[in-house]
Amino acid sequence: MANDLRRSDRSTPTFAAVGLAGLLALMAARPADAQVNIKVLGGMTSAAEQQPFFGGSIGAGVGWIELDAEAGRLTDILPSGLLDRLNDLQRQRGLPVQAIARMPATYVAGNLRIIAPAGPVRPFVSVGTGIARVEPRFEVTVAGVSLGDVFGATSFEPRSETMVTAGAGLRLHLGRAGLAEAGYRYMVLFTGFGLESGFNVGRPDVSVVYGALGFRF
């Protein structure tokens, strides 16, 4: 586990910078055809529980290809396996008060999107990768259960972990400059929590349903 914690503290690639470089390359290649968009996003994540998230993005595309850089806040992506472990521990120890664990995260990511280049309604598929800063913690603590019991780690400072996403959705162009979007994503964060038990109960596999509003120019 010590090796995992040291790995998490190392500097990681700046995916936002990679995404920005991609945007500039697209716009330089065919500036007359490139279109930039800015969006605000919001929706629900589903892991151990359903919780809200919010974010924003800036993107640019030419033809079928679009790249964007995105940042946001995930309110709670505690894996269901860790919630089950916490509940089992509390039952085994006969604790009268229930501890509550949470795992919020802040993320930055770059996304590649294949999107229909014409029409008022444009279907798309996307893949992305980035870095999430996860913050394992107890909202309510009780004697007899520690964060180490639940997360299988010895240090609980915020840690940066790789994330990948894949999804699909629809974009609707509104008037001359507006846009609306609805989509689904499957998100995986490679946290490694729980690996000492022999299986990856601690990896957040998160379903995300979201909507977005923005404008294009």
109: its two tokens: 């990511």
162: its two tokens: 């790789």
- Mean pLDDT check: name the lowest of 25-29, 41-45, 89-93, 138-142: 25-29
pLDDT of residue 28: 55
Q: Is 113 helix (H, G, I), strand (E, B) or coil?
A: strand
Instruction: Break the chain into its structural domains and give their ranges.
Output: 2-216
Gap between the Cα atoms of 30 and 210, Å rounded: 31
Using a cut of 0.95, tell me whether the model's pTM lies above it. no
How far out from the chain centre does Cα 9 lie? Answer: 19
pLDDT value at 85 more than 90: no
- How confident is the model over 130-165, as pLDDT tens digits? 999 998 877 656 666 666 666 665 556 788 999 999
What is the dotted CATH code of the domain comprising 2-216? 2.40.160.20
Contact residues for 32 (Cβ-Cβ < 8 A; gap 6+): none
Q: What is the mean pLDDT of residues 108-118?
A: 94
Selection from 13-22, 37-46, 139-148 with the highest mean pLDDT: 37-46
Gap between the Cα atoms of 92 and 119, Å rounded: 59
Q: Name the residue type at position 114.
A: I
Q: What is the mean pLDDT of residues 20-44?
A: 72
pLDDT of residue 152: 61
Q: What is the mean pLDDT of residues 58-69?
A: 93
Contact residues for 164 (Cβ-Cβ < 8 A; gap 6+): 127, 128, 129, 187, 188
pLDDT value at 214 more than 90: yes
pLDDT value at 76 more than 80: yes
pLDDT value at 169 more than 60: yes
pLDDT value at 210 more than 60: yes
Secondary structure letter of residue 141 according to DSSP = -
Gap between the Cα atoms of 210 and 43, Å rounded: 4
Q: What is the mean pLDDT of residues 184-206?
A: 71
204: its two tokens: 């957040």
* Cα-based angle 184, 104, 209 (whole degrees, multiple of 5): 10
Gap between the Cα atoms of 217 and 199, Å rounded: 48
